[in-house]
Amino acid sequence: MSATMTTTQTSTRTPPAVMTPEVPLVAGDVLRAVDTPVVSPPSGSPTAVALNAGSSGGAKTKGHRRTSSAASDIAKAAGIDLEAVSMAEARKVMSEEHKILGFRPPHGSFAAELKEIAREDALRILAERKTSTGADKDALPSNVKIVNGNGKHVTPARHSPPNPGVNLNKISATAARVLMSHEHRALGFRPPPGSLAAEAQSAAAKHPDGDGTHLDDDTLREIALRDAERIKADRELNMVGEVNVSTVGKEAAAAIQSAETRALGHPPPSGTLAAEAQSAADKHPAGGSFKPDGNPVEMEQLEDAARREGERLRAQEENEKAREGKEIVVEVQAVQESTMDSKTGMPTPPASPPKAAEKMEKLEEAEKAEKAIETEPLTDARPEVVRRLTTPPLSRSETGESVEIIGDVLVS
């Protein structure tokens, strides 16, 4: 009987798992993501295991973890395992927060702390690999990491972009300089901190000779262009067509203006490549880093792009003029095709005259009004009111039903 009561009391102490339509909850566990399946709580105190595992680890406690900070609280609430965050994922979080803020996330932000945690965790893994033996590496699969004495399946940390890519742990100083040069040229300015070129130079400073792996120039250029496209998307450079006008100086802007004007037949309007290049050159006359000024090949490419845009704008203007001309011809034909009155033989205008006919009538009325107005010449004599008629005196014709007045307006 006592054993039965003990079993009943033990089973009632652990609250059952609760499932809501929006957020699944597990009794005694932290808040998890919406798409996390409901699991049975482990034996013991889950809260104590989750939050106090660092203190029970003894010498394995990580000093850089700041569990009381707001960023760590956000990670726990979102169900993010900080142990499994790689440097590439931390860079993505940093990029997204940078894009939303409009400036680099400051120290203490979630993105900054996440990147710092990923960096320190990567250094710890490298240190463990150097001190561990080969038997320890082969004991567990590559995707299993020891966390507080327990094996945990995680996504392996990546320190380089997907294939083809560079390994920042093995890149040499020479390859890092070539990568920086290609990315610098693709962007038009020096790659900012957080770019692949900047991180490659920082990593190469620790091992200038690398591991002897040779990366050809084409591979480095492709990697640099891919990373430059990512940075351009984040910064939203002033791209007009295929030209980055942020790098254009006065000389290149003048060449673009001249080529587009010749192709268009008149000065280009606002919003065109020539106008944007001129505006950018006014802000920075010297141009950006890798400016095309003085480079015959790049100058020819800019002039060719300006010429193509001028021809495109000219074709649009000609099509617009042709369309307007067709509309006028249609309106004139509508006036000419008015029906004839069978009794008088005179053309009868349509019930709703077109716009062209209305404009012509207004012009004729304005001309008649100007001709009807006559003023007395200026003399020393006292001015007199002159009453003149532009038509013969009024003629009246009376009938039994109405009186009709025929004549023009009396002008004084």
Going by pLDDT thresholds of 50, 70 and 90, the confidence category of residue 229 is confident
In whole angstroms, give the CA distance from residue 8 to residue 124.
Answer: 47
Output 387 or 233, whichever has higher pLDDT.
233
Q: Say what the pLDDT of residue 34 is.
A: 41
Give the integer Cα–Cα distance in Å for 218 and 224.
Answer: 10
pLDDT-derived band of residue 359, with 50, 70 and 90 as boundaries? low
Q: Please name the residue ranges forming H helices in 18-109.
A: 46-56, 70-78, 87-101
CA distance linking residue 212 with residue 227, whole number of Å: 24
Alpha helices in 107-172 (DSSP H): 110-131, 134-139
Q: Looking at residue 208, what is its pLDDT?
A: 85
Lowest-pLDDT choice from 118-122, 129-133, 156-160, 302-306 = 156-160
Question: pLDDT, tens digit, for every residue of 301-344?
Answer: 888 988 999 899 999 888 888 888 888 877 766 766 665 555 56
Q: What's the token pair of residue 128?
A: 């463990």
**Amino acid type, 1:** M
Residue 130's contacts (CB-CB under 8 Å, 6 or more residues apart) are none
Distance between CA 107 and CA 104 in Å, rounded?
9
| 40-44, 85-89, 213-217: least confident range | 40-44
15-29, 61-75, 294-308 — most confident range: 294-308
pLDDT of residue 52: 38
How many other β-carbons are positioned within 10 Å of the β-carbon of residue 93? Answer: 20
- Average pLDDT estimate for 63-91: 60
Q: Rounded to an integer, what distance in angstroms lies between the CA atom of residue 66 and that of residue 106?
A: 16
Which pLDDT value is given to residue 61? 41
What 3-state class would DSSP assign to 236? coil
Tokens of 373: 């107005």
